[in-house]
Amino acid sequence: MKLKIFCLFTIFLMGASVFADAIINRNIHKKNSAIQSSSIIYSNFDSNYDEESFSLAIKEVKDKIRLKPNDYILYASLVDLYIKSKDYDKAYEELVFLVNLSKQNKLNATLKNYITNVYNQNKTTLKYSKNKGMLYLNFALIALIIDDKSLAETYIDKASNYSLGSDHIKGVLSLIFDSSENLNKAVAICEKIIIKNPKDFEIRKLRASYLVQGKYIDAAIDEYSNILSIVPTDEDSKYSIYKLLSLKNATEKEIARAIYKTDKPDYELVYSDFASMFINREDLDTAEFYANILAEKYPNNPKGYILLSEIYMKKGKLRESYEVLTKARDKADSNEVIAKYNVLLAKLSDEPVKEANSLISAGLYQQALDVLDSASQENLYVILTQARANYLLNNKQTTFELLNKSMILYPKNSDVYCAFGYIYLQENDLESARKYVNNSLKINPKNKTALDLQDLLNNAESQKYISLIVSSYEAQNYAESMRLVDEALKINKKDPILYFYKALNYIAQNNYAASTAHLYKCLELDKNNIQVYFYLGLAFDNLSESDNALTYYRKFIELLPKDDYGESEKLDYAKARINKLKN
């Protein structure tokens, strides 16, 4: 009996021990999970794991990044997984991101040690990698992150022995040789690549830029000349040769010969090219000089007048622009000239329109129409202003008759579609308004009125979500509130209130790290939202970043109007936390 009791007791003790171990192990696991909640380390992974395992691990890290976008160890973990799974292109993208952060001094010693371990674990894979070139590029970027410039140069040199995309190798070369250090090596690496692919004009451009930095002017001119042999229309190379030869006090003839590779260049083309080149670089005085020569020496070529018109318009000289464009219209009956002529004519005839717009702003709509009666009824902006005044007088039929007239007279004018979009927006017909605004931007993507209307449309459509977002948030249905915010952001990425509520949803779920990015975005779009400072203080307070918390709590108190009793609870809380954090 004693033996039985002893055995049972022993079994019990063993069971208790196992149970105790289980509890301890569970607590250790919990602790480790908490420690690693912001940095997932997959050091136990190797290249023998199957594709599904890597996919799951990568998805897990990406999910973490969405929650903690400023936890850069996560990005390094992603690099590790991509390299081990041989997805070197994806690793390259993440490494470029980390290198740029490193250049901004945003990476700490912990991350650099971790990325060093990633390198040490993976460098043996070079022996059997089928894509050594991209792996060398990855290691060159890692070397930049860990501040080993010499190792980075070694790896980019090795990578240059392989056929790689211009964008990839050019990007890494630019990151490594971003100053005047070791430019000779940069030139030599470019030369190795060019030998394998002599038509890679992007690498040739990079080589030329290094030669310029190294003050090898003649060699740089030769390289830009080589680029023009491959791409004769490359304006950057023409401009570079022009500037470099100008430094050497070359004559206009010598510059033209060098660019066009002939002793007898076509100066009609030369002056046209030079004027366009300087217009594109906003050097309007030099552009005007060459456009004038073109117009004087070749008076039957409308291009000189068109270029002068463009230059004068950029300088705000509308009358001069109109006058030279009239000459171009007489020389060539082209659609380009006629379109520009009509726009300028409209701008030059805008005095009655200006007066009418002033009267409309003062609410004197009929008086505005009276002023416009004496103006040209074929002028686009006269017609559009008449349409606007009639709409404000509630003469909708006349409004649409005028708009249709403008469409018949100016079917390819961006402002016509814009006017239709504005009226439909006022009518709350958002679908029609969107159609006309989109057509306006197709014709002129830079039409500021159309872009402003697009923002108004986006705002009108996203506003439908605001009340639903707020009610879901107040009902503590954070998942639904977040879903609605994301739907609204697909329509309108410029509404600060959407970012504000996204942040509030994160805060409500204790995800303070994720909330900060959206609070900053809200502040970027709306600097007058004082509540953002309070919630930034709250977020950093909960993240144990006391200095930041104090800064934002104080900013909230400083900006809060003295009589804003609606925020008294937040005010009291901010004051209490400031006292606590200070102590």
Asked whether residue 94 is domain-assigned, the answer is yes
> Which stretches within 231-364 are classed as H helix?
235-247, 252-260, 267-280, 284-297, 302-314, 318-331, 335-348, 351-361
368 and 414 share one domain: yes
476 and 552 share one domain: yes
Asked whether residue 256 is domain-assigned, the answer is no
436 and 548 share one domain: no
Cα separation, 332 vs 330, in Å, equals 6
Structure tokens at 73: 């160890």
Residue found under tokens 């030059």: 348
pLDDT in tens, 81-137: 998 888 988 999 999 899 888 888 888 888 889 889 888 888 888 777 888 889 999
478 and 386 share one domain: no
Asked whether residue 343 is domain-assigned, the answer is no
Structure tokens at 299: 């008076």
Cα separation, 140 vs 162, in Å, equals 14
Whether residue 561 is predicted with pLDDT greater than 70 in this model: the reply is yes
Whether residue 554 is predicted with pLDDT greater than 60 in this model: the reply is yes
Asked whether residue 203 is domain-assigned, the answer is no
Whether residue 274 is predicted with pLDDT greater than 90 in this model: the reply is yes
- Residue 489, judged by CB atoms within 10 A of its CB (0-12, 13-18, 19+), counts as middle
Higher pLDDT, 36 or 73: 73
Closest CA to 183 of 148, 161, 152, 207: 207
pLDDT in tens, 562-571: 766 567 788 8
Higher pLDDT, 368 or 492: 368
484 and 442 share one domain: no
The SS3 assignment for 56 reads helix
Provide the residue range defining the domain that includes 85: 47-176
Q: Residue 121: which CATH number?
A: 1.25.40
Asked whether residue 205 is domain-assigned, the answer is no
Asked whether residue 141 is domain-assigned, the answer is yes
107 and 149 share one domain: yes
533 and 498 share one domain: yes
Whether residue 6 is predicted with pLDDT greater than 50 in this model: the reply is no
Contact 98, 75 (CB under 8 A): yes
Task: Measure the CA dihedral 108/110/116/119, to 10°.
Answer: -100
pLDDT in tens, 228-238: 989 988 899 99
Closest CA to 216 of 189, 247, 173, 178: 247
Whether residue 473 is predicted with pLDDT greater than 70 in this model: the reply is yes
Mean pLDDT of the chain, nearest integer: 82
Q: Residue 361: which CATH number?
A: 1.25.40.10
Cα separation, 403 vs 398, in Å, equals 9
Residues in the chain, total: 583
Cα separation, 331 vs 327, in Å, equals 6
Write down the pLDDT at residue 172: 85
Whether residue 25 is predicted with pLDDT greater than 50 in this model: the reply is no
Number of domains in the chain: 3
Asked whether residue 318 is domain-assigned, the answer is no
416 and 522 share one domain: no
Assign 340 a pLDDT band (cuts: 50, 70, 90).
low
Contacts 24+ apart (CB under 8 A), 457-461: 457/421, 457/425, 457/430, 457/433, 458/491, 458/492, 458/493, 458/494, 458/495, 459/492, 459/494, 459/495, 460/425, 460/430, 461/430, 461/491, 461/492
Amino acid at 206: L
**Sequence-distant (≥ 6) Cβ neighbours of residue 75 within 8 angstroms:** 65, 94, 97, 98
Cα separation, 251 vs 246, in Å, equals 8
489 and 440 share one domain: no
415 and 501 share one domain: no
Closest CA to 118 of 153, 146, 79, 154: 79
The pTM of the whole model exceeds 0.95: no
Asked whether residue 539 is domain-assigned, the answer is yes
426 and 530 share one domain: no
Cα separation, 148 vs 160, in Å, equals 19
**Domain end call among 398, 429, 456:** 456
SS3 of 240-264: HHHHHHHHCCCCHHHHHHHHHCCCC
Write down the pLDDT at residue 63: 87
Write down the pLDDT at residue 36: 40
Exposure letters 266-292 (e unless 16+ CB within 10 A, then b)? ebeebbbbbbbbbbeeeebeebbebbb
Write down the pLDDT at residue 324: 81
DSSP code at position 26: H
Cα separation, 103 vs 531, in Å, equals 33
Closest CA to 157 of 121, 126, 193, 208: 193
What is the chain's percent helix, strand, coil content, to nearest 5? 80, 0, 20
Write down the pLDDT at residue 342: 63
Cα separation, 223 vs 210, in Å, equals 11
DSSP code at position 167: H
